[in-house]
Amino acid sequence: MHLAAHRVAMKLRENGFSLGEYDHLYICFSTEEPRGSVTLDEDVDKYFPWFRKVHVGITPDALSAIETEGETSFLLEHIENVLLTLFGSDSASAVIIRDSIKDAEKGQEMLMHFKEKKTTKGTAAIYLKLLDNGHYLPVLSVKNIDGTEVLRENLPETSDLGNLGDIQLNSKNVTVKPRKNSYTEAKALKPFSFEVQL
């Protein structure tokens, strides 16, 4: 269920969706709230203002079954309802929310556009799959100027996206360099390079 929620967040991020003043939303299911109700908690933690809670009323039977196998659809249905209720007042946002839920229903086959590099010769893009084991599977796709895909490669599974930094593309090669930051030892990470014909 956590992975299903993460996939929704990935697609929302890809489409530029924002929660506004906070970036974490915790859904709290409760049998004490009226069934079907969606209530945003007005209390804001002064030390952690980046998250908010929303209370969703469900039945006792639904609460007891929420963590069983096959309840991903239940969770996605409620995430969609919460997002539409709180953030779906304009049609553009409602479309993004519905499309993100629909994409998340694909499970680990869902692709999220992560980053790309455009040149006069073509485009190289990295997509992410969030696998059922919690790791990311990066997928590198290179298209020529006509939009024809000339290369598609799965990069190694990873739990750290630090090895997916700058993309370099020319008419003969595409290279994905590791990110350089204080959390990643760039020397330990090797670039991925493939031959292409653009």
The predicted model scores a pTM of: 0.86
List Cβ<8 Å contacts ≥24 apart for 165-168.
Answer: 166/117, 167/115, 167/116, 167/117, 167/124, 167/126, 168/117
Which residues are CB-contacts of 158 (< 8 A; sequence separation ≥ 6)?
Answer: 135, 136, 138, 164
Residue by residue, pLDDT tens for the chain (198 residues) are: 889 999 999 999 999 999 888 889 999 999 999 999 999 998 888 888 889 999 999 998 887 777 665 578 888 999 999 999 999 989 999 999 999 999 999 999 999 999 999 999 999 999 999 999 999 999 999 999 999 999 999 999 999 888 899 999 999 999 999 887 645 554 567 889 999 998
